[in-house]
Amino acid sequence: MKKLSRYDHTQPGAIDPAQCNGCGVCMLSCPVWHQHRTKALTYCGRNRAAIGGADEDDLAPSAAACILCGSCEPLCPMGIRTQQSTLALRRNLARRGLLPNPRVARDRKKPERAAASRLIIPGASLRDNGRIISAVLRVLGGEAKLHADDGSDLLLSLEAGGEVSDAQIQEYLAPLEGVPELIVADGLMFNLLYSALPSPKSMLPLGPALLRDPNVRAGIKSTDFYMIETRAYNAHRHAFVELYSRLRRETGCTTNLDLQRVATPTGASCMQHREGLKTIISIEEQVKWLLEGRRPARIVVEHPDDLEAFSRYTKLPVVHLAEVAKP
Ligand code: SF4
Ligand code: SF4
């Protein structure tokens, strides 16, 4: 099992955030900047403050404001892994009780070895949505199975800055070793597994996995607004940008990618929203930003949390990608 370097910027090969040149480019796509215009609450603001000598305590409001959408990461000309850097800061702050008390994973059942040639790791949102699970299983075929342990407790703890040891994560991952194909619905989970599995090439986020089916691609219309799951996409933009460019060319749909091909989030998947914690990000504002200047007839989403966000704040029909497949 690899070391979990993606979540620790002190690991060899990671870019030291101290190399930040303060250009501020990463702020351009940040929902916190878009909604509040407060530099101190952005990655640029807190990182430059840390470089300038600010105490970590002073950075707690900024670390708590971030929704870990990853939209800042692909823009950084220095290649700084902003998402992992913020997670590392949250870990330090949570250890000292300076962030809302994270739920630490405890008493996990001994995981059983997963037996499937194609295993779907659903995350909490997909796990709770029987309608979408049925649609996903219909598209992915009879050999696809849902993994019983979605790992959402580990993810929640990680996102909140809780202590999730390498041993805990490796215990979660052990039964997955040897599964030929993993399909991961939650972007943060995808990023975690990508860092830790010996063969991440056999793994796809749910959206790209569904888009391999021509019937799914045929179901997308030129009048659709297509909502990409941001956390996996932004962390692996180089791997997926061409897939979505082709989708736009072939179908004529619009997407949540900006001109720099960075994915903008609704914010509905963040821990603060899911756990009912205080957040300065308004999902309604995000939805308005995403649809500004566009007049789609329908919204197609990859992540179940975005279904709820668009359903609540628009009058448009909203469907999951798995549901658009033409028979
Ligand atoms: S991860 Fe998202 S919310 Fe956090 S600083 Fe980056 S762009 Fe802003
Ligand atoms: S884009 Fe990168 S180098 Fe520029 S301010 Fe942000 S973190 Fe620093």
For the chain, which residues make up each domain, given as ranges?
5-95, 118-209, 210-324
Fold of 210-324: Rossmann fold (3.40.50)
State the pLDDT at residue 308. 94
Residue nearest to atom 7 of ligand 1 (CA): 30
pLDDT in tens, 120-174: 999 888 988 999 999 999 999 888 999 988 888 888 888 888 877 788 888 888 8
- Mean of pLDDT over the chain: 89
Q: What is the pTM of this model?
A: 0.92
pLDDT in tens, 114-126: 678 899 999 888 9
pLDDT confidence tier of residue 230, bands split at 50, 70 and 90: very high
Residue 75 CA, closest ligand 2 atom number: 1
Ligand 2 touching residue 25 (CB < 6 A): yes
Residue 22 CA, closest ligand 2 atom number: 5
pLDDT in tens, 282-306: 999 999 999 999 999 999 999 999 9
| Dihedral sign computed on CA atoms, order 229, 232, 238, 243 | negative
pLDDT confidence tier of residue 86, bands split at 50, 70 and 90: very high
Ligand 2 touching residue 27 (CB < 6 A): no
pLDDT confidence tier of residue 108, bands split at 50, 70 and 90: low
Cα 92 from Cα 242, distance rounded (Å) = 37
Residue 30 CA, closest ligand 1 atom number: 7
Q: Which residues contact 287 (CB under 8 A, 6 or more apart)?
A: 266, 309, 310, 313, 314
Residue 265 CA, closest ligand 1 atom number: 2
Taking the centre of ligand 1 as the mean of its atom positions, its distance from the CA of residue 168, in whole angstroms, is 27
Residue 281 CA, closest ligand 1 atom number: 3
Element (H, E) at 32: helix 31-36
Alpha helices, DSSP H, located in 162-236: 166-173, 187-196, 206-211, 214-218, 230-235
Ligand 2 touching residue 79 (CB < 6 A): no
Taking the centre of ligand 2 as the mean of its atom positions, its distance from the CA of residue 297, in whole angstroms, is 37
Task: Give the closest ligand to the alpha carbon of residue 24.
Answer: 2
State the pLDDT at residue 10. 45
Ligand 2 touching residue 30 (CB < 6 A): no
Task: Give the closest ligand to the alpha carbon of residue 81.
Answer: 2
